[in-house]
Structure 1
């Protein structure tokens, strides 16, 4: 079926069922960012492959609401599908609800699959459309037209030994139960896959790039249950979890367990990380405590074991990046290199590293104008040949036993223009300004975000995405609760958090520039004013200085860059060949 035919088939069902508007979010029952193929409903219906967006279908309009990162991509992918691009004004805000409030008649029927909608969104829809007395229904209108729908994944899962995780499952459950008690909750439902993976020290392969297992968890003061395909675990790992007081039940049993909860229970749920469908199964007499999962806070604060393993992963990743930079320089103009072939070569260099377990997301390799698309994904149709001119943006990462990396670098090709040099230097300055900031305990991400942007604001330049995100320990490349963004998120940075710093400049049709390092929040000093924190830069890779306009940098920026490059060389050189050492030493020399 073409996308227009699929849209027509959805509308036929809407007419039969009296549905005025149908909502298809990019989500699964775990409210994940990255989805198993079975739950790529938005992509199936419209062809849009971005990781954030919502389709809203009425009988006379069909639109995709998405943000700045995907405007160009969505514009291209939605051509001749019957869907129109609706540009979000504010990232991550469900502006389609206001649109529905404007266009729907009173008592209209709005439908969605309630297993793909978060509790937060479900309640928001009900609240914001209450004046119209909208009738809500849960319907899966794709089930009838998705003939070749992929099966749920059945990848093997495994347990991480506490010596690598830095904490036993028993101790993590003890901490969680203390948090439940403080929240006055005797039960806790967890649906977010990375929270479950962290809590029970398990990893899997059910979702591309993210080593997680499709599962739910239900924890009380006396029991802990994981709902997953039990065949994914070996008998030894099952016994290990049983010994920690954890029972394994089939994935689908979560429904009946929620229905069977004591009517007088107090259950803690995270409204952003649980689906509306499961929420509605909780007995109406139960008291629901809505708050962020305690495990989301716990896993954001890396312990000393996790930090040391992440440092080790950064060295492996830095070696792979160095070999890739060297390969690009030695082969550009001699062999045909495209966005896809360059990304494949980078993955090969990562695969050569001991303990490599996969890439942490689909590599963003954007040449020239494609670099101006923050979440560009090369396809066989868009794959550009990389020539000896312009800029090549590479945003990539690896998964290692045990650690996760995420890094963005720019590769200059040929003689750069003055505009390319200026944009590159301003982005570099913004990244350095954030990286070298001292900040008092209690500082939130939006304050660091503004510090990074100031270097660009001085030139009346801005970018439409956040400056940074948390990153998991051999887990999801994007994790919370901290974020460096303009959003007034009241989550202070704490020691042990690992966050990206990745400002950018994007000039549509010309080029894009982004430079990204991962940083660890550490304690710096305590004085009469406050306890001050700083960032320890973890990422170890060359930042090419060929594009730097030194006059745009302050002396402290230059000192930071020179010190960083010395650290990169000192830590990577023992793992490089003689030729690679000489190459890196020359490229990383002080400016």
Structure 2
């Protein structure tokens, strides 16, 4: 079926079941950012492959609501499909709700799969649409027309030992139970795969790039239930889980377990990370206690064992990146190198490092105009040879058994314009300002965000994505609860949080610049005016200085840059060949 034929088939099903609008979300029952192929309904329906978007279909209109990161990509991928791009004004907001209220008549019906939408969003839809006497219904038309749908993944899962994780499973469960006592909840249902992975020291390969496995968890006063297909685990791991107080149940039995909770249970859920379908399985007389999963907070505070492992991962990632950029410099102009082949070559350098598991996300390798797309993904059609003059942006990361990495660097190619040099320098200034920040305890991400953007704002430049996100320990490359963005997220930074800092400048059709490091929040000390915090930069890869416009940098920013590059050289030198070390020394020389 073509995309147009699929749209026609969906509309026919809507007519039969008297559904006036059908919503398709980019999610799974675990509300994951990256989903198994079985749940990639939006690419199936319309061809759009971005990680954020919502389809809304009526008999008269079909649209994809997405944010500025994907405008150019969406316009290209939606061409000829019957869908139109609807540009979100505010990222990550359901602006289509107001549109539905405007276009649908009273007593209309809006359908969506309750198992693929958050509790928070479903209730917002239900309450907002009720103003127009519009009802919601649980329907799944996608499954009806997806004849060759991929089955759910059945990959093996495994436990990481306490020596790697820093805490036993039972210790983590006790921490969560302590948090539940504070909230006066007796039960806690967990859907989010990274929370479950952290809590049970469990890893898997059911989702591309994220080392997680399909599972649910239910903590009760008497028992800890892990819903996972047993065949995924070795008998040794099953025994370990049992010894740590964990009972195993089939993955498909989770709904039954929720329905069988005792009368009037007090249940803690995260409404943004729990699907509406399973929420509806809870007893009608449940007292719902809503909040961010306790494990999300606990997971964000890396313990000393995790931090030491992460530093090791950064070291090996730095070695791989050094070898990659040296290879690029040595071979450019001597052989054909494209965005695709460069990304593949970088992957081979990472794969040569100890305990490498895989990439932590699809490598963004964009040259000149392609780099102006913040979430560019190279395809056979878009693949461009890296030749001539310009800027080559590489945003990449690796999953190691001892950590997760995420880094962006920009490599100047040939001669660069003054605009490119200025953009590069201003982005670098933003990174430096965030990295060397000293801030009082209680500071939130949106406050740090404005400091990182200030060097760009001073030149009337801005960018449409957040400045930073949390990152997991051999887990998801994006995690919360903290972030650095304009959004008013009421989460204070605390020691132990690992977060990216990644400002950018994007000039459509011309070039893009983003420079990204990962930083660890650490104590700075009590100054007499309260406790202060700062950041330790974890990433170990030189920052190219050949196109820096030094006149745009202040003395302390130049000092930070020189010290950082010297630290990179000092940490990596002994792990490189003589030739590699000599090359890196030149790259790290002070300006």
| TM-score range normalised by the length of the shorter chain | over 0.9
CA distance in structure 1 between the aligned counterparts of 2:390 and 2:477, rounded to whole angstroms: 29
Q: Deviations over 1:450-500 (max 9, x none)?
A: 000000000000000000000000000000000100001110000000000
Partner of 2:257: 257
Aligned to 1:537: 537
Task: Provide, for residues 546-575 of structure 1, a one-character-per-residue CA deviation record: whole Å limited to 9, x for no partner.
Answer: 110000000010000000011100111111
Match for residue 549 of structure 1?
549
What are the superposed Cα offsets for residues 177-225 of structure 1, whole Å, 9 maximum, x if unpaired? Answer: 1111111110000000000000000000000000000111000122111
How far residue 389 of structure 1 moved from its aligned partner, in angstroms, is 1.3
**Separation (CA, whole Å) in 1 of partners of 2:481 and 2:72:** 29
Matched with 2:430 is 430
Q: What does residue 146 of structure 1 align with?
A: 146
**Deviation for aligned residue 1:145:** 1.0
User: Matched residue of 2:341: which SS?
Assistant: helix
Hey, what's the Cα distance between the residues in 2 that align with 1:146 and 1:374? 31
**Alpha carbons 2:129, 2:135 under 8 Å: kept:** no
Match of 2:104 in 1: 104
Q: Quote the offset at 1:247 in angstroms.
A: 1.0
- Deviations 1:276-333, CA, capped at 9 Å, x for gaps: 0000010011111111100000000000000000000000000000001000001111
Partner in structure 1 of residue 329 of structure 2? 329
Q: CA deviation at 1:530?
A: 1.3
Q: Which runs of 5+ in 1 are unaligned?
A: none
CA distance, structure 1, for counterparts of residue 199 and residue 82 of structure 2: 43
Q: What residue number does 2:15 align with?
A: 15
User: Which residue of structure 2 lines up, in the alignment, with residue 281 of structure 1?
Assistant: 281
Structure 1 residue 268 corresponds to structure 2 residue 268: yes
RMSD: 0.6
Equivalent pairs counted in the alignment come to: 591
- Report matched runs for 1:511-590 at 5 Å: 511-590=511-590
Structure 1, 133-142 or 186-195: larger mean CA deviation: 133-142
| Distance in 2 between residues matched to 1:151 and 1:253, nearest whole Å | 18
Q: Which residue of 1 aligns with 2:89?
A: 89
- Distance in 1, matches of 2:184 and 2:511, equals 53
Deviation at 1:388, TM superposition (A): 3.0
Q: Residue in 1 aligned with 2:167?
A: 167
Residues 497 and 520 in structure 2, CA contact (< 8 A), matched pair in contact too: yes
In structure 2, the residue corresponding to 1:357 is in which secondary structure? strand
Match of 2:320 in 1: 320
Q: 8 Å contact 1:263–1:284 — kept in the other structure? A: no
Residue of structure 1 in register with 2:73 after alignment: 73
Q: Does 1:57 align with 2:64?
A: no
1:469 aligns to 2:484 (yes or no)? no
State the distance in 2 between where 1:42 and 1:226 align: 30
Matches within 5 A, 1:213-228: 213-228=213-228
Cα distance in 1 for partners of 2:484, 2:372 equals 21
* SS of corresponding position for 1:63: strand
Give runs of aligned pairs for residues 482-497 of structure 1, distance below 5 A. 482-497=482-497
How far apart, in 1, do the equivalents of 2:325 and 2:212 lie? Answer: 31
Q: Distance in 2 between matches of 1:367 and 1:35?
A: 28
Name 1:340's counterpart in structure 2: 340
Residue in structure 2 matched with residue 451 of structure 1 by the alignment: 451
TM-score (norm 2): 1.00
Q: Shift of the alpha carbon at 1:273?
A: 0.3
Rounded Cα–Cα distance in structure 2 between residues aligned with 1:535 and 1:528:
20
Distance 2:338 2:5 in 1: 34
**Partner Cα distance (2:582, 2:222) in 1:** 60
Please give the alpha-carbon distance, in whole angstroms, between the structure 2 residues aligned to 1:85 and 1:446: 29
* Paired residues of 1:193 and 1:214 also in contact (CA < 8 A): yes
Hey, what does 2:244 align to over in structure 1? 244
Q: Deviations over 1:202-257 (max 9, x none)?
A: 00000000000011100012211111111000000000000001011111100100
Structure 1: distance between partners of 2:525 and 2:298: 24
Distance 2:473 2:31 in 1: 20
- List per-residue Cα deviations over 1:412-431 (Å, max 9, x = no partner): 10011111100000000010
Q: Secondary structure at the match of 2:369?
A: helix
Contact 1:445 1:491 in 2 (8 A): yes
Q: Is the 8 A contact 2:27 2:117 kept in 1?
A: yes
**SS of corresponding position for 2:76:** helix
CA distance in 2, matches of 1:166, 1:388: 49
Between the aligned partners of 2:298 and 2:55, the Cα distance in structure 1 is: 34
In 1, Cα distance between the equivalents of 2:49 and 2:226?
A: 31
Tell whether the 8 Å contact from 2:500 to 2:516 is kept in structure 1 after alignment: yes
- TM-score normalised over the length of structure 1: 1.00
DSSP-derived class of the 2:65 partner: strand
In the other structure, the counterpart of 2:201 is 201
Instruction: Give CA deviations for 1:477-527 in whole Å, capped at 9, x if unaligned.
Output: 000000100001110000000000000000000000000000000001202
Q: Which residue does 2:358 correspond to in 1?
A: 358
| TM superposition shift of 1:263 | 1.7
> Where do 1:411-430 residues align within 5 Å?
411-430=411-430
Deviation at 1:40, TM superposition (A): 0.4
CA distance in 2, matches of 1:385, 1:211: 32
In the alignment, the residues of structure 2 paired with residue 214 and residue 344 of structure 1 have an alpha-carbon distance, to the nearest angstrom, of 28
Counterpart Cα distance in 2 of 1:470 and 1:378: 25
d(CA) in 2 for partners of 1:530, 1:133 = 53
Q: 2:263, 2:104 → 1: CA distance?
A: 37
Give the match's secondary structure for 1:427: helix
Contact 1:332 1:388 in 2 (8 A): no
User: What is the CA–CA distance in structure 1 between the aligned matches of 2:517 and 2:369, rounded to whole Å?
Assistant: 23
State the match for 1:479 in structure 2: 479
SS of the aligned residue for 2:143 comes to: coil
Is the contact between residue 117 and residue 275 of structure 1 (CA under 8 Å) also seen in structure 2? yes
Deviation at 1:128, TM superposition (A): 1.3
In structure 1, what is the Cα distance between the partners aligned to 2:263 and 2:112?
28
